Structures are given as structure tokens and as C-alpha cells.
């Protein structure tokens, strides 16, 4: 009987800039592909190994199944032999939707909901608390010991905010949008006639001042001097028709117009906002806040009722993962002995799922943390932990720069994940630049020597010791420590703020406590810290939007984020550009050149369009009559 293959054989790989690459990749080993940026590392790992491994797996399925799956093209390679089914863990996982949380993306919440369905005390129809009972596991109704009423415990699905357990007000998102009254009248020193009510001016409802005058509202005095009842009519007045005299350029009309108060103007325009530009104009009048019905828990009242000890489902999901791991083993002792076996099974499952997440340094995250607020590094570690939990065997895992976003102190957890995958009989190939991880690989393949057309060749291969002895390796000096690390000369501390400073003060948000920070202007400033310490929150959710709010005073400009107390930017206004780590479009029409906007600069400027003479009347159809004043009155008054 023949022995099992011990390597993947790649011959004649020509994906992107690869130049007929021939290389053998050991199986069931930790293999690193390294090289300068743009040398062809990802082309070999993802464009050849992953592409062929996944394509051949799909081709092994039935024709019926394949017809319902996307077809990957064959890679530009002469042959790839002994490649297993492949899974890719990409560098930039997609940003989750509004309903995703840390608990749902890790699937920990599935187990916790099951615990609250099976192990909790429930409430009978008459409001009595019923102690935990094994009858819940049998999914049969049981009697309340207080009043004898039948109790049907909710299932796990009825406790899910993405399903039947959603709060009816916010539909399971935990947040609601409301009109910000302060933004409706930003300058109360103005009169209504002079444009104090901004939505009426911005959305061309300029007849509204004449309508509110018919309600008795004074429109020729500063808004701050209006009586409370006058303000109420302007902001929340009824949709009543009033007879007004409306003057146009050619005539004066007596018409009936309906009042559209300031708040209604905004909500109606929000419904009509079908593109980004219109939505931005409306957004300045809106504020996003915590849902008052569920207090941000996303859960319906019924889903918040089950209790394990003194805690409800919302209380547990508000805990950090570290706290949940400490709480779970205490659950069994609070239950009748007949429920201990069921409880221990659920607790063990929860602990096993949480272990790798904690080892990857994610124990500080609360389970109810919105998935969209997680950093790229946090999302990638969630993805890694989920891969290990699946306990596959014989699979090729291709990891694209798994150390991105990781602090050096978190690397051990990443290496632990890779070793777990290998221990289950899988193969791991990863692309990376971090020598701390590259040194741990049992086999390295270095692509180079340059980028683009200057790369695409295997210049060294072997163990870290083999590369250290290779005269062709550009990486060897960094693996051994012989090559010095180039460090930019720093400014003297006394000169750091010579060009000015940006001062930011915030309240607490996510993992960041209230802080005050000074950022020097005219300097290259790095914000660093362990993964999850709040770097992204500080820069992309606090500093950048605060500067945009100060620098841009045009219509639709963002206001200061709610958690930002103040921002002071000395000197003239500067252009603000935010470059996030996001996946770029995979459209067939996109290229590095179009993404860098160089194509736009290279295109010739089109000739100017001819303008019509100012006196030329607009074209009208001879069969279409002009709108009558009566018909105009039926439309919203503008």
C-alpha cells in the first residue's frame, strides 16, 4: 500500500506576477510564505493553493449541488498535485451587519440562550416566578406552584433578538433614530422669516412661515422669544390646512396649504432619501440613541424575563467574556440535582468555545458589543477561533497575514490556534511579514526579490536556519537579527508641539475610558497598544469625525459625536483623509490604478458643454397644461 503524500507539488504557476514557479509545499506542517510587499506571496497562497484546493473540492460534488454554487476559474498553473480541500481566512474579514454582535459572531450566544431556555426560572402568565425544572428539557408545559397556571418555557429561538425575541421598538438593533430638536433651529437669534427653521430652508418648504402665521405664530421675532405653544406648533404642529395668500412671480393665489412641521419635514425627507447625498443632508437633523423600550439590550420584554440566579439574559450578555467564563461554572450549583447533568454539558460547551477566544486576547469584549465596532484584528481572531472549533482534519488552511492588527503580546495565542489546526491533522500555510511568527514556521518559502515584475520567483526555501545561510534571501538578516531595523529620527520632546496641537476630550466609549489627549500637528503620530485597547475607537470613531465636524461647515456636515466633549484644532482648517483597512472592490473594472485615482488624472478633460441662452424658455409639451393652483395645493407645501 502506497504511503500518504507529504507535500503539495506546484508546477508552472503564472498567477499575476508569478513567473512559472515550481515549488513543493509540505503537508501537515506550518508553512510560511514571505517576501517584500507585492512580490507574489498572496498570488501563490490564495491564487494557486487556495483557489485550486477549493475549486477541486467543489468539482467533487454532484452536478446538482455545483449548479447552485459559484464556479471558481482554474488557476493559471500547469499542475497542482495532492492539494487538499482548502479554506481561506482572509486578511480583512467583512464588516458585520447591524444585527451582529460579538456574541453572535462567535456563536457563544447560541449556547447562552439555550442555558436561559433550559436552566432558568421562568414567569407564569400571572407573574409568579417558577423555579427551574427538568420539565423544560422535555419541552412540555408545567404548572406554576403558586397559582397552578400552565407555563410554557420559551425556546432558544424565542430569546434571540434576531428572531422572535427582538424588541418591537428597535426590531433587535438596540438603537433608534430620532429627530434632534436642537438641530432644527441651530440659531435661535434668527426669526422664522429669516430662516430660523433650517429644514424648511434646506428642503425648500419656504411657504411654511406663512402657514404658521395663520396658527398665530409670530414669524418676525427671534425664535428664542417665542412662547412655548408657538415653538410646539413649529416643531410638532398638526397637519392642518390653512388658507393663505401665496405670491408667485406672475400672480397672487389664494390657496389652501397643509402645515408640515419641522420634525415631520425631516422624517418625510428621510423616507425619500434614496442616495448617499440626500441621506447626508437629512442625517444632520437626526440623532441615534439607545432604545428606551429595551434599554439597548435588543430583547423583547418576554426574552428578558428568564433568570439564572439573579441574572437575566441581558445581564449576562453585558458581561465581558472573561466574566462570563468565570460565571458559567457557578450555574450548576443553583439548580436541582436532576438538572446537573444537562447544566454541566452546556457549561462545558460554553467553556470550550470560549477558551480559544480568551487565549487570543478577546476576553475584554462584552458579548453585546456590536460587531461593526470590532477592529479588523478582533474580527480576524474571531474567525480564527471559529476555524479551530470546527475540528476539521485533512484540510488546507490558508491564512493571509494573520498577525495584522495583533500586538506582539497576542502572537502566542495566534500560534496556539495554528498548532491546534495542525494537531487535528490539517495543513497550515500563511502569508506574513512578522518575523516573530515566521521564525515559528517549520518551512519557509521566500518570494522575490522585488515587487511586481521584479518579483514572482522563489529565491529561498527551507527552514529558518536554511534561509539564514542562503545568500539569496532578503529575509535572513531579519530572522537572525543581523539586519538593523531602520528607525525614523524622532523630534525632540521640547519641539514636539512647535507646529501646534489638536486637543481632544472624550467620554467613555467601548473599551476606552474618558480621556484628554494632545496630538502634535505636522508630525507623524502613531497610536499603538495591545489589540482591543481602543486605538480604532480613539482615531476613527473619535478624532477623525470630531475634526470633520469642526472643519466642514457646509450643509450636511457631521456634528460632534455624542461621546466627544470637545476638540480644539489650532491654525487653519486642513483636509482630512481617513484610510481604513477595508477590502477593495472586486469589480472587473477595478484596478490598482483606478483605486489610486491615477486614471482620472490621465484622462483628457472633456470640452465644456454649451449653455442655452438665458432667454430661451424651457421646452414644454403642447398637450400638457401648466399645473393649476388647485392642483398645486394638493402637493406638500414647499
pLDDT digits (tens, 9 = 90+) for 146-190: 898 999 889 999 999 988 999 999 889 898 888 888 889 988 899
**Residues 297, 169: one domain?**
yes
Kindly state the percentage of the chain with pLDDT values over 70: 86
82 vs 53: CA distance, rounded Å: 9
Most confident by average pLDDT, 124-128, 267-271, 373-377, 382-386: 124-128
DSSP summary character for residue 177: E
In whole angstroms, give the CA distance from residue 10 to residue 447.
14
**Mean of pLDDT over the chain:** 83
Asked if residues 564 and 504 have their Cβ atoms less than 8 Å apart, the reply is yes
Measuring CA to CA, which residue among 259, 251, 255 is closest to residue 234? Answer: 259
CA–CA dist 292, 176 (Å, integer):
9
Q: Are residues 233 and 252 in the same domain?
A: yes
Residue pair 34/432 in contact by the 8 Å Cβ criterion: yes
pLDDT value of residue 573: 56
Question: Which pLDDT band holds residue 387 (cuts at 50, 70, 90)?
Answer: confident
Q: Are residues 60 and 119 in the same domain?
A: no
Asked if 24 and 8 count as a contact pair (C-beta separation under 8 A), the reply is yes
**Is residue 475 domain-resident?**
yes
Does the pLDDT value for residue 384 go beyond 90? no
The Cβ-side half-sphere exposure at 194, using a 13 Å CA radius, reads: 10
CA angle 64, 68, 70 (to 5 degrees): 125
Helix residue ranges per DSSP H, 309-375: 313-317, 321-327, 340-359
Mark whether 189 and 53 lie in a shared domain: no
Which of 480, 513, 535 corresponds to the end of one domain?
480
For 564, the domain range is 496-569
Residue 436's φ and ψ, nearest 5 degrees, are -60, -35
In a domain, 219, yes or no: yes
When divided into structural domains, the chain yields a total of 4
The pLDDT assigned to 96 comes to: 75
CATH of the domain at 85: 3.40.50.300
Q: How confident is the model at residue 588 (pLDDT cuts 50, 70, 90)?
A: very low
Final residue in a domain of this structure, among 290, 323, 345: 290
301: nearest Cα among 123, 128, 529: 123
Q: Are 522 and 502 in contact (CB under 8 A)?
A: no
**0.85 exceeded by the pTM?**
no
283 and 183 together in one domain = yes
**Whether 194 and 333 share a structural domain:** no
- Sequence-ordered list of residues with C-beta below 8 angstroms from that of 33, at least 6 positions apart, any chain: 41, 44, 45, 429, 430, 431, 444, 445, 446, 447
pLDDT for 304-355, tens place per residue? 999 999 999 999 999 999 999 999 999 999 999 999 999 999 999 999 999 8
From 521, 544, 569, the end of a domain falls on 569
585 within domain boundaries: no
Q: Is residue 423 included in any domain, yes or no?
A: yes
Indicate the pLDDT class of residue 396, thresholds 50, 70 and 90. Answer: very high
What confidence category does residue 68 fall into, taking pLDDT thresholds of 50, 70 and 90?
A: confident
Note the pLDDT of residue 621: 37
Given a contact cutoff of 8 angstroms between Cβ atoms, the answer to whether 401 and 411 are in contact is no
Q: In this predicted model, what pLDDT tens digit does every residue of 261-288 receive, in sequence order?
A: 999 999 888 888 777 777 778 888 888 8
Contact (Cβ atoms closer than 8 angstroms) between residue 216 and residue 194: no
Q: What is the pLDDT of residue 2?
A: 54
Rg of the chain (C-alpha set): 32
Residues 214 and 311 reside in one and the same domain = no
- CA quadruple 177, 181, 183, 186: dihedral, nearest 10: 180
Residues 436 and 475 in one domain: yes
Q: 622 lies in a domain?
A: no
- How far is 525 from 486, CA to CA, in rounded Å? 17
Q: Evaluate whether residue 381 is within a structural domain.
A: no
Q: pLDDT tens-digit profile of 75-129? A: 999 999 999 999 888 766 667 778 899 999 999 999 999 999 999 999 999 999 9
DSSP class of residue 86 equals E
Q: How confident is the model at residue 472 (pLDDT cuts 50, 70, 90)?
A: very high
pLDDT higher than 90, residue 590: no
Q: Are residues 538 and 559 in the same domain?
A: yes
Alpha-carbon gap, residue 368 to 319, rounded angstroms: 8
pLDDT at 394: 92
Residue 496 has pLDDT above 80, yes or no: yes
| 209 within some domain | yes
Q: What is the pLDDT of residue 600?
A: 39
170 and 301 belong to one structural domain: yes
Q: Is the same domain home to 150 and 196? A: no
Q: Tell me if 291 sits within 8 A of 278, measured CB to CB.
A: no
Is residue 221 predicted with pLDDT exceeding 90? yes
Question: Does residue 386 fall inside a structural domain?
Answer: no
Outline where 31-167 has alpha helix (H): 41-44, 51-59, 63-66, 102-105, 108-118
Nine-digit cell at 501?
496641537
Q: Residue 556: is its pLDDT beyond 50? A: no
Residue 59's pLDDT band (cuts 50, 70, 90): confident
> At residue 629, does pLDDT exceed 70?
no
Secondary structure of residue 188 in the 3-state scheme: coil
pLDDT value, residue 615: 40
* pLDDT confidence tier of residue 579, bands split at 50, 70 and 90: low
Q: What is the pLDDT of residue 78?
A: 95
Instruction: List the one residue out of 141, 169, 172, 143 whose CA is nearest residue 159.
Output: 172
**Pair 457, 449: CB distance under 8 Å:** yes
- CA–CA gap between residue 587 and residue 599 (Å, rounded): 16
Q: Are 426 and 397 in contact (CB under 8 A)?
A: yes
CATH number for 233 = 1.10.8.280
β-strand partners of 258: 241
Q: What is the mean pLDDT of residues 229-258?
A: 84
Asked if 170 and 297 sit in the same domain, the reply is yes
**CATH classification of the domain holding 324:** 1.20.1580.10
Amino acid at each position: 500500500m502506497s504511503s500518504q503524500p507529504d507535500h503539495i507539488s506546484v508546477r508552472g504557476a503564472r498567477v499575476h506576477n508569478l513567473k512559472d514557479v515550481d515549488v513543493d509545499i509540505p503537508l501537515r506542517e506550518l508553512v510560511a510564505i514571505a517576501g517584500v510587499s507585492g512580490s507574489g506571496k498572496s498570488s501563490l497562497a490564495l491564487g494557486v493553493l487556495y483557489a485550486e484546493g477549493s475549486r477541486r473540492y467543489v468539482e467533487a460534488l454532484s452536478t446538482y449541488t455545483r449548479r447552485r454554487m459559484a464556479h471558481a476559474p482554474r488557476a493559471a498553473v500547469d499542475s497542482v498535485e495532492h492539494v487538499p480541500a482548502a479554506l481561506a481566512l482572509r486578511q480583512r474579514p467583512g464588516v458585520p451587519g447591524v444585527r451582529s454582535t460579538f456574541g453572535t459572531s462567535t456563536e457563544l450566544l447560541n449556547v447562552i440562550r439555550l442555558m436561559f431556555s433550559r436552566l432558568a426560572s421562568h414567569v407564569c402568565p400571572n407573574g409568579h416566578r417558577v423555579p427551574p425544572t427538568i420539565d423544560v428539557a422535555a419541552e412540555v408545559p408545567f404548572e406554576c406552584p403558586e397559582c397552578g397556571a400552565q407555563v410554557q418555557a420559551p425556546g432558544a429561538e424565542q430569546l434571540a433578538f434576531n428572531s422572535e425575541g427582538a424588541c418591537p421598538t428597535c426590531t433587535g438593533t438596540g438603537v433608534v433614530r430620532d429627530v434632534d430638536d436642537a438641530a432644527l433651529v441651530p440659531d435661535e437669534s434668527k426669526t422664522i422669516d429669516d430662516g430660523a427653521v433650517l429644514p424648511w430652508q434646506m428642503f425648500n418648504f419656504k411657504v411654511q412661515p406663512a402657514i404658521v402665521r395663520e396658527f398665530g405664530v409670530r414669524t418676525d421675532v427671534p425664535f428664542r422669544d417665542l412662547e412655548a405653544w408657538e415653538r410646539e406648533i413649529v416643531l410638532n404642529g398638526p397637519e392642518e390646512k390653512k388658507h393663505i395668500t401665496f405670491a408667485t412671480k406672475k400672480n397672487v393665489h389664494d390657496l389652501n396649504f397643509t402645515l408640515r412641521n419641522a420634525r415631520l419635514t425631516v422624517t418625510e425627507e428621510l423616507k425619500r432619501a434614496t442616495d448617499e447625498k440626500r441621506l447626508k443632508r437629512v442625517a444632520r437633523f437626526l440623532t441615534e440613541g439607545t432604545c428606551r423600550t429595551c434599554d439597548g439590550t435588543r430583547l423583547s420584554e418576554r426574552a428578558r424575563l428568564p433568570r439564572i440566579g439573579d441574572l437575566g439574559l441581558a445581564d449576562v450578555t453585558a458581561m465581558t467574556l472573561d466574566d462570563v467564563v468565570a460565571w458559567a461554572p457557578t450555574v450548576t450549583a443553583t439548580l436541582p440535582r436532576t438538572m446537573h447533568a444537562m447544566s454541566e454539558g452546556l457549561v462545558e460547551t460554553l467553556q470550550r468555545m470560549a477558551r480559544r477566544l480568551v487565549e487570543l486576547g478577546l476576553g475584554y469584549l462584552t458579548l453585546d458589543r456590536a460587531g461593526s465596532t470590532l477592529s479588523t484584528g478582533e474580527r480576524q481572531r474571531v474567525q480564527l477561533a471559529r476555524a479551530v472549533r470546527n475540528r476539521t482534519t485533512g484540510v488546507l488552511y490558508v491564512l493571509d497575514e494573520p498577525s495584522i492588527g495583533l500586538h506582539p503580546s497576542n502572537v502566542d495565542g495566534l500560534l496556539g490556534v495554528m498548532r491546534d489546526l495542525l494537531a487535528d491533522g490539517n495543513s497550515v500555510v500563511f502569508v506574513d511579514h512578522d518575523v516573530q511568527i515566521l521564525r515559528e514556521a517549520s518551512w519557509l518559502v521566500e518570494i522575490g526579490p522585488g515587487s511586481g515584475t521584479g518579483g514572482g520567483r522563489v529565491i529561498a526555501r527551507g527552514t529558518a536556519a536554511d534561509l539564514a545561510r542562503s545568500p539569496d534571501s532578503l529575509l535572513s538578516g531579519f530572522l537572525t537579527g543581523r539586519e538593523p531595523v531602520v528607525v525614523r529620527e524622532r523630534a525632540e520632546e521640547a519641539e514636539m508641539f512647535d507646529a501646534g496641537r489638536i486637543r481632544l476630550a472624550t467620554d467613555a466609549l467601548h473599551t476606552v475610558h474618558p480621556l484628554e489627549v494632545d496630538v502634535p500637528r505636522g508630525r507623524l503620530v502613531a497610536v499603538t497598544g495591545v489589540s482591543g485597547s481602543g486605538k480604532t475607537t480613539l482615531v476613527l470613531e473619535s478624532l477623525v469625525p470630531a475634526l470633520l465636524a469642526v472643519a466642514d461647515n457646509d450643509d450636511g456636515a457631521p456634528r460632534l459625536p455624542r461621546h466627544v466633549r470637545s476638540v480644539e484644532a489650532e491654525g487653519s482648517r486642513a483636509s482630512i483623509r481617513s484610510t481604513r483597512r477595508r477590502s477593495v472592490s472586486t469589480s472587473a473594472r477595478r484596478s490598482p490604478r483606478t483605486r489610486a485615482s491615477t486614471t482620472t488624472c490621465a484622462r483628457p478633460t472633456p470640452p465644456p458643454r454649451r449653455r442655452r441662452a438665458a432667454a430661451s424658455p424651457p421646452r414644454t409639451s403642447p398637450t400638457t397644461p401648466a399645473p393649476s393652483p388647485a392642483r398645486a395645493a394638493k402637493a406638500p407645501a414647499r
